[in-house]
Structure 1
């Protein structure tokens, strides 16, 4: 039987916390016995029982799982330090088996080539290696202005008045940042992220919609004061003084140590695994998590398409993750269209999609509102950050200056 699978199961027995973080499902193991063992381990864990060697050897149906000697053998293969690599190997082997299975089925059922490609793409999209450090991303665009473009201390928000109101971002707390599209959610999130990085924290950005290159471009524009439209072709569109400033902006952003994960449809388990991995790499930095955005997170179950139950699960999982890692979690959320039908278009709690569980689980809820978005003639460039819920303090509104052209936030 697969040594990788033995090492995987042994590591789960040795370090029970890994069960919460693993992205592997029992069905992805090749051995039928190993699938049965993993299902039993999950069942025991969910019932609040131990999954160590002593606990497992007291099972009444011990022989079904290979007996005490097999559990001892699994434990002998355990290697917690190499757990990430073991997971990746198991996932890669599962993908190969799935691809072969799809091709066999396609041959038997005479599928159209388009359907075959779609099914294979679904397998390929499942990945753990969607990670780019901002330093790496910035090095990739270092020469862009000269190149032709190919077609439990709280964490400061960087906005003094908002810090006074909510006390900064606290470890173990979930903050929901919600607004209608094009209101500036991503720009505010990136402002929070880079400010946290400069303050010595480790910002982990899970971008489920926007690719890393666009995030890096936005960070450069807002930090350097570059018009975003010019970022499409820095060589041609930036003036000389902006080009002279370019490397300094890269140097400043590199100091944030920001990490970017831009895989679509990530699960909470995947985010936990990636967070724990980065915490090992940066042992002296406290992480702060940013997720863009709530309803793009893949839930662990389908719930028959019931979006309310899916959001409830995700909302509770975010809170658990914040508490387990004792770090702040800031998650973006879309508002439903009901806000557009009101005379006063400032958001309310009921405007959050599937708002019940989110309102209950979040410690802080921030809404964004820009008058200029709805009134094009307005000369008001301010962005209102509305503190609608604050479990540990006051609510109210903070106004900041917001540049639509660069995405810069000035508190």
Structure 2
């Protein structure tokens, strides 16, 4: 084993251009002596001097590095053909050591599982296999003129006017959808999710409150235009034409490739792991994450019951996920009761304020409001989507049609953005 390390260091001495190319850091070598030798090489290289045997022998602490004889021995192991292999091996061994260190520290300090996963995740992201020959790259793109493009820059929200205003859901951006209970948050989320799926994205739905059964039944109801109440007993309650439509609805929903995770106490680290796993299963689709909802996400730390700090940590982590996976993240947020005490119950920015730094961290903030929920005699059954923060465009309100019996959302023909 030590042979690989000697080959590695010897090769650096022999062909110093490798010093600039290697991804291995001195700290990642195991023995103190090897760490020191590599550090000296890096220093010489930075100072613009040659990293050869001659320059290394002029080091003041040559003896502690094993003297002239050890350095010559290293040089004799140089093998440029084997360099890549040894480099990979050194990184693998380093990952193993790091993993053991993390587990030891975690056991001593009784870390939460989420933190352990997060730390292990970091080591795993050290990327070695990022090389593609142009031949490979060209064969990957060979069929492009005849293939549907899956990688759109932004995902459609399925509501034209909202797309125009926000530019759709952008990769690397976090959208918060805030509302009071019963405003249609989950229906709006499922509308966004299936629309993005049909547009070729991979919708991952993290439902921390509603079980998968309910989500599936809601998707069928809104897609087929079935009254939700009938979903309790489709055999008895659906009429013939609805039953004939059933398999088409299921066929259509199948095409979304939606993935549902309905564990109640999911943490950010778990969501990351699940996202990474699905990205490897669907390499040609870009993921889009939907989380229902913000304050149900389990935080990695206990902040002594300080929910403000907890939500801040979580909203920062959502932004990190969006950036790291270069995908859009849409997270629902339950707004507090203060809304109910106002004459005008349309939500506004201050209703989200005590939720840590959510307001700063989000790129887009949408609020939902239905007049008909508060005023039972209201003629208007529309759902207002209030664009309250929009990094890339104007703010204002967009009204869509909302069928509270089926959960379906449709846009109105004549669409305009009314200013808030």
Q: In the alignment, is the contact (CA less than 8 A) between 1:336 and 1:353 conserved in 2?
A: no
| Map of 2:415 onto structure 1 | none
| Map of 2:276 onto structure 1 | 276
Q: In the superposition, relative to structure 1, how do residues 60 and 266 fare at CA in structure 2: closer, same or farther (>3 Å)?
A: farther
- Report how far residue 77 of structure 1 moved: 10
1:190 aligns with 2:190: yes
| Map of 1:372 onto structure 2 | 372
Give runs of aligned pairs for residues 2-401 of structure 1, distance below 5 A: 54-57=26-29, 75=92, 153-352=153-352, 354-401=354-401
Give the Cα–Cα distance (whole angstroms) in 2 for the partners of residues 154 and 285 of structure 1: 13
- Report how far residue 353 of structure 1 moved: 6.1
- Report how far residue 354 of structure 1 moved: 2.5
Q: In the superposition, relative to structure 1, how do residues 250 and 55 fare at CA in structure 2: closer, same or farther (>3 Å)?
A: same
| Map of 1:103 onto structure 2 | none
| SS of residue matched to 1:343 | coil
| Map of 1:3 onto structure 2 | none
| SS of residue matched to 1:303 | coil
| SS of residue matched to 1:226 | coil
| SS of residue matched to 1:249 | helix
| SS of residue matched to 1:182 | coil
- Give the unaligned 5+ runs of structure 2: 1-22, 35-88, 108-112, 118-151, 412-420
Give the Cα–Cα distance (whole angstroms) in 2 for the partners of residues 189 and 313 of structure 1: 23
- Report how far residue 303 of structure 1 moved: 1.2
Give the Cα–Cα distance (whole angstroms) in 2 for the partners of residues 155 and 202 of structure 1: 10
Q: What's the C-alpha RMSD, in Å, of the aligned pairs?
A: 3.0
Q: In the superposition, relative to structure 1, how do residues 77 and 388 fare at CA in structure 2: closer, same or farther (>3 Å)?
A: closer
- Report how far residue 59 of structure 1 moved: 8.4
Render the CA deviation track for 1:16-45: whole Å, top value 9, x for unaligned: xxxxxxxxxxxxxxxxxxxxxxxxxxxxxx
- Report how far residue 410 of structure 1 moved: 0.4
Q: Is the radius of gyration larger for structure 1 or structure 2?
A: 2
TM-score (norm 2): 0.64
- Report how far residue 60 of structure 1 moved: 7.0
Q: In the alignment, is the contact (CA less than 8 A) between 1:307 and 1:354 conserved in 2?
A: no
- Give the unaligned 5+ runs of structure 1: 1-50, 63-71, 80-85, 95-122, 128-151
Q: In the alignment, is the contact (CA less than 8 A) between 1:268 and 1:314 conserved in 2?
A: yes
| Map of 1:42 onto structure 2 | none
Q: In the superposition, relative to structure 1, how do residues 402 and 59 fare at CA in structure 2: closer, same or farther (>3 Å)?
A: farther
Q: In the superposition, relative to structure 1, how do residues 303 and 340 fare at CA in structure 2: closer, same or farther (>3 Å)?
A: same
Q: In the alignment, is the contact (CA less than 8 A) between 1:174 and 1:329 conserved in 2?
A: yes
Q: In the superposition, relative to structure 1, how do residues 271 and 235 fare at CA in structure 2: closer, same or farther (>3 Å)?
A: same
Render the CA deviation track for 1:239-279: whole Å, top value 9, x for unaligned: 01000000000000000000001111111111111111111
Q: In the alignment, is the contact (CA less than 8 A) between 1:371 and 1:380 conserved in 2?
A: yes
- Report how far residue 55 of structure 1 moved: 1.8
Give the Cα–Cα distance (whole angstroms) in 1 for the partners of residues 239 and 26 of structure 2: 69
Q: In the superposition, relative to structure 1, how do residues 60 and 337 fare at CA in structure 2: closer, same or farther (>3 Å)?
A: farther
Q: In the superposition, relative to structure 1, how do residues 353 and 210 fare at CA in structure 2: closer, same or farther (>3 Å)?
A: farther
TM-score (norm 1): 0.66
Q: In the alignment, is the contact (CA less than 8 A) between 2:29 and 2:90 conserved in 1?
A: no
Give the Cα–Cα distance (whole angstroms) in 2 for the partners of residues 59 and 265 of structure 1: 42
Q: In the alignment, is the contact (CA less than 8 A) between 2:230 and 2:237 conserved in 1?
A: yes
Deviates more, 1:265-274 or 1:381-390: 265-274
| Map of 1:8 onto structure 2 | none
